[in-house]
Amino acid sequence: MKIIIAGAGKVGHSVAALLAEEGHDITIIDQDPEIIQTLSNDLDVICVEGSATNAETLREAGAEKADLLLAATEQDEVNMICCISARKLGTAHVIARVRDPEYLHQTEFLREALGLSVIVNPEYECAKEISRTLRFPGASRVDAFSKGSLEIVEHRVLTGGKLEGVALKELVQRFGAKVLVSLVERGGEAMIPNGDFVLRAGDKMSVTGQSAELRRFFTAIGKYKRPVRRVMIMGGGRSAVYLTRMLQENGMDVTVVEKDRERCDALCDLIPQANIVCGDATRSDVLQEDGLSSADAFVALTGDDEDNIITSLYAKTRGVNTVIVKVNRDYLDEILENVGLSSVVSPKDIVSQQLTRYVRAMSNSMGGSMETLYRLADGKVEALEFKVSPHSACVNIPLKELKLRPQVLICAVIRGNKSIIPDGNTRILPGDHAVIVTAAGKLQDLDAIVEENR
């Protein structure tokens, strides 16, 4: 596909790298000549220097014949104007990054009025991911499918814990919960396990199930911590505003620590029920005075990776049960996990996953439309949700009779409000949502999981 990305900041660069890796023809527009030069050297993409709102710049980038344009500059209004111009020139689909909380409740109106295919909001999506994790204490990551009907929870197997030495086929009988381990990471390798797989200390496993079953499972293994009631957030940016509103809807008390006085005044209006503290959260005395030791969770959301990491490590030493840190540099993930910071979020990566799903859905939807996509295990594995078409090769056949590609697992079937952990006799029906975990490459369509449909 011919894809144009306007704006080569963190999100634009991340999306360009991922979509170029998937084989798409990428053109990037940016006004900064240094950024253009760097991208030309780093990625196999075409770069155009200029304004994304300028029709001539868009024509030079190929907007008249482009399949998709993503407007990801720093300014919402620029992104919207860019999308309108691209559509007028002939671009088939346009996506705008819109970040301002004031636009959040106008998303559908803006999408229809401006002819946008999708509106993406990295900070809002980041807040949703953090909110899910805070509602499931003890998890390092929680991914949701079909509006929360099913979740995949990431957990580390501990030395001497109840999971060490247990074969996966014994889990349901031993712990009394209908869950499925869909992925295990061991020694840098990501594996789609079968029932004979035996868990070892240090394994990072992804467990699939309904929320109630997952809670039953983690309670049985002694790893379901007390619910989060008090949250301290470091940084008062857009993500903090979105997250505070979500947490307050769930009855949590929130303290936001922000060092900029003008921003604090704005926060008092944006989230009036929160406790707003004007202070430097990198100072231990500020954190202690404002209740860090009594917090159930600490979330670091500033724009500075180093500040987020150092302060999160300090929160861990003060006994905070759940610590979540926003980090933009992917290569730090392994280091952070080794020092005990396993819950790491990156807004640019979340949006990259969202846009990859959209692009693949545009490319092929014969077996069913792709609804959700998550990249797991540093991108080695993907978890995907497809809405099943009546014409899919997987329909109405017992799973034991489907010849699946290697390293592919059908880990759940969602039928209405019911999530099914499948066995060999389960059949996928039209209208179902099938959740697939795969290390077999990048699936474009549900039918690609079947060997003869490769």
The DSSP element (H or E) to which 382 belongs, if any, is strand 381-388
Adjacent-strand bridge partners of 197 = none
Higher pLDDT, 396 or 452: 396
Query: Domain 349-453 carries which CATH code?
Result: 3.30.70.1450
| Residue 365, pLDDT above cutoff 60 | no
pLDDT at 30: 95
Domain boundaries, the chain: 2-120, 130-220, 228-345, 349-453
* Amino acid making up residue 308: N
Rounded to an integer, what distance in angstroms lies between the CA atom of residue 446 and that of residue 365? Answer: 8
The DSSP element (H or E) to which 153 belongs, if any, is strand 150-156
In percent, the amount of the chain with pLDDT more than 70 equals 98
Quick one: average pLDDT of 385-401? 92
Q: What is the pTM of this model?
A: 0.84
| Overall CATH class of domain 130-220 | alpha beta
Quick one: average pLDDT of 163-171? 94
| Mean pLDDT comparison of 120-129, 348-357, 359-368, highest-scoring range | 120-129
| Residue 35, pLDDT above cutoff 60 | yes
In order of 83, 240, 274, the CA distances from 354 in angstroms are 18, 21, 30
The string of pLDDT tens digits covering residues 284-294 is 999 999 899 89
CATH topology of domain 2-120: Rossmann fold (3.40.50)
225 falls in which pLDDT band (50, 70, 90)?
low
pLDDT at 354: 84
Quick one: average pLDDT of 332-354? 83
pLDDT at 227: 84
Select from 417, 344, 431, 438 the least CA-distant residue to 389.
431
Locate the DSSP E strands across 187-327. 189-191, 204-209, 230-234, 253-258, 275-278, 297-300, 322-326
CA dihedral 438, 345, 206, 150 (to 10 degrees): -80
Locate the DSSP E strands across 244-356. 253-258, 275-278, 297-300, 322-326, 344-345
The distance of Cα 394 from the centroid of its chain, to the nearest Å, equals 27
Say whether domain 228-345 belongs to CATH 3.40.50.720: yes
Compute the mean pLDDT over every residue in the chain, rounded to the nearest whole number. 90
276 falls in which pLDDT band (50, 70, 90)?
very high
pLDDT at 368: 57
CA-based torsion, 429, 430, 435, 437: positive or negative: positive
The string of pLDDT tens digits covering residues 245-264 is 999 999 999 999 999 999 99
Quick one: average pLDDT of 150-159? 91
pLDDT at 453: 55
Are 333 and 354 in contact by the 8 Å Cβ rule? The answer is no
Kindly list the strands in the beta sheet with 180-186, ordered across the sheet, starting from the edge strand earlier in the chain. 141-145, 150-156, 204-209, 180-186, 189-191
Question: What's the DSSP call for residue 261?
Answer: H
Burial of 403: CB neighbours in 10 Å, binned 0-12, 13-18, 19+: exposed
Locate the DSSP E strands across 289-380. 297-300, 322-326, 344-345, 368-376
Select from 132, 151, 169, 206 the least CA-distant residue to 439.
206
* Amino acid making up residue 186: R
Rounded to an integer, what distance in angstroms lies between the CA atom of residue 394 and that of residue 390? Answer: 9
Equal fold, 2-120 vs 349-453: no
Question: What's the DSSP call for residue 310?
Answer: H
Q: How many residues does this entry show for the chain?
A: 454
pLDDT at 80: 94
3-state percent breakdown (helix, strand, coil) of the chain, nearest 5: 40, 25, 35
User: Residue with structure tokens 């209004």?
Assistant: 77
Which of 137-146, 231-240, 273-282, 414-423 bottoms out in mean pLDDT, i.e. has the lowest?
137-146
If one counts every other C-beta atom within 10 angstroms of the C-beta of residue 34, the result is 8
Which tokens hold the place of 262?
A: 């003008």
Rounded to an integer, what distance in angstroms lies between the CA atom of residue 232 and that of residue 257? Answer: 8
User: Residue with structure tokens 């559509």?
Assistant: 87
The string of pLDDT tens digits covering residues 300-316 is 999 999 999 999 999 99
Kindly list the strands in the beta sheet with 2-6, ordered across the sheet, starting from the edge strand earlier in the chain. 46-49, 25-30, 2-6, 68-71, 93-97, 118-120
111 falls in which pLDDT band (50, 70, 90)?
confident
Higher pLDDT, 33 or 106: 33
The string of pLDDT tens digits covering residues 68-86 is 999 999 999 999 999 999 9
Name, in order, each residue with C-beta under 8 angstroms of 101's C-beta and a sequence gap of 6 or more: 238, 241, 242, 270
pLDDT at 398: 95
Query: Radius of gyration (Cα) for the chain, nearest Å?
Result: 23
pLDDT at 326: 94
Half-sphere exposure of 386 (CA within 13 A, CB side): 30
